[in-house]
Amino acid sequence: MLYLKGKIRGITEQQKSGNSGPYMQYTLHVEGSEFDMFRINFAKAQNDLGIPMKVQQLIDKVCLIPVWVKAFNNNTYYHYSGTDLPTEVDAKQKAA
């Protein structure tokens, strides 16, 4: 499994529509370093399990976040992987 280490900065939501009707798309914002900010998308199934709401408890904490990565047309997309919550790491360690 691939993990992204960084400080969780917040979660945004956006209304989307799919085959089964409208749903909320949640995006996790993670600061990897002072220059890198990552957006990690949650799948609809993870939204339905309430994972984005549970991750909100970790805002402003340095964590290891399980992700899978998709590269397409010179863009990199990060997606939350699985149903486990991010693992908090020692706050004294700098995010990298």
Q: What is d(CA 31, CA 37) in angstroms, rounded to the nearest whole number?
A: 5
Q: What is d(CA 73, CA 24) in angstroms, rounded to the nearest whole number?
A: 26
What are the structural domain ranges in the chain?
2-82
pLDDT digits (tens, 9 = 90+) for 32-86: 877 789 999 999 889 889 999 999 999 999 999 999 999 999 999 999 998 889 9
Q: What is d(CA 18, CA 55) in angstroms, rounded to the nearest whole number?
A: 24
Cβ atoms of 83 and 53 within 8 Å: the answer is no
| 2-82 CATH, one of 3.30.200.20, 1.10.287.3510, 3.30.565.10, 2.40.50.140 | 2.40.50.140
pTM (predicted TM-score) = 0.83
